[in-house]
A and B are shown apart, each in its own frame.
Chain A
Amino acid sequence: MNSAGNDIVSLTATNVTRTKSPEFYSKIISPAEKALFDTLDHEVLPFDRFVWLLWSVKESAYKYLHRLNANIVFTPVKFEVRAIGIPQGYCFSGSGFGEFTDKGFNSLAAFNAEVFFSGKKLFAKVVIHQEFVSSVVNHTDSFDGIYWGIKQIADTSHACQSAAVREFILAKLGEISGLDGLSIYKNENDVPVLLNNGELLQTPISLSHHERWIAYSFQSPLTTGN
């Protein structure tokens, strides 16, 4: 089950009052997930961030599974988050986050989550910052082989977001692979795929952007279609 799924939500683009209203969050989280929130430390994870954490994990899980099965539809409440782990000694980060790239999640405190859809279980790592919630999912709880990046950009137009996130991931892919003919296009299912000089690579990639934030994830190693 080799795929990729990530997401980023710009918290400055969300409405905290609306997020906390039942008519809004009930479209995203289930009563069981609301009960899960009641077991967590609300000082560390206030309700509005909890809602967007779940949204992000569910969207990442959807992207991961949609790449494997294009018939899957994104209905947030049908993706169920059953566990959230708060990183030990977690301290809410409020500044100094212009760009960050890494392989695995060993150098930055990340929340853990488990999400289920139609009998499938996926694992998630979530980075929460004052301005964003960003998640990456995988089919195992090991993220050691997953590259990911988050970056702040100045121009929030859709065209610039889209170009910037492609430039961001291609720079990393080029750096680790040495390939110089890399490009990205979206296939018939609206899934981003990677090419090298026109040849399809089997490395699944995932892209996300929201307002001033862009993010990617992909799984190493890069392999060709043959």
Chain B
Amino acid sequence: MTRQEILDELKKVIAPYTTNKELLAGLTEETDLIKDLKINSANLVDIIIDAEAKYNIEIDYDSADKMINVGTCLDVITEKINERE
């Protein structure tokens, strides 16, 4: 998958957990999940679980720690997809 393809799918993963649909449509690598998208911290585990299912990967604790903004989410997902392949 290209980074853009991963991003397109990531938007679908994040969508149920943010009410800021306008910002979701215009995500950048710097968009912060909590500060910008106002995602409740209790939903971050949901996003990790959903991402694992979406990309058929496993995200360990240390990798999950890095998933603060869209760019770091893409980095972790890309890394895990590459490990799988």
Contact = CB atoms under 8 A, between A and B. Distances in A.
Nearest to B48: A27
A74 B41 contact: yes
Contacts of A210: 40, 42
B35 A77 contact: no
Interface residues of A, number: 22
A186 to B, nearest CB: 9
Interface string B44-57: 01101100100000
Contacts of A73: 65
Contacts of B24: none
Binding site secondary structure of chain B: helix
A17 interface: no
Interface residues of B, number: 16
Contacts of A14: 42
B65 A55 contact: no
Contact of B52 (A15, A23, A76): A23
A75 interface: yes
Interface of B: 19-20, 35, 38, 40-42, 45-46, 48-49, 52, 61-62, 64-65
Interface of A: 9, 13-15, 18, 23-24, 27-28, 52, 55, 59, 73-78, 157-158, 190, 210
13 contacts: A14-B42, A18-B46, A24-B46, A27-B45, A52-B42, A74-B65, A75-B62, A75-B64, A76-B45, A77-B61, A78-B61, A158-B38, A210-B42
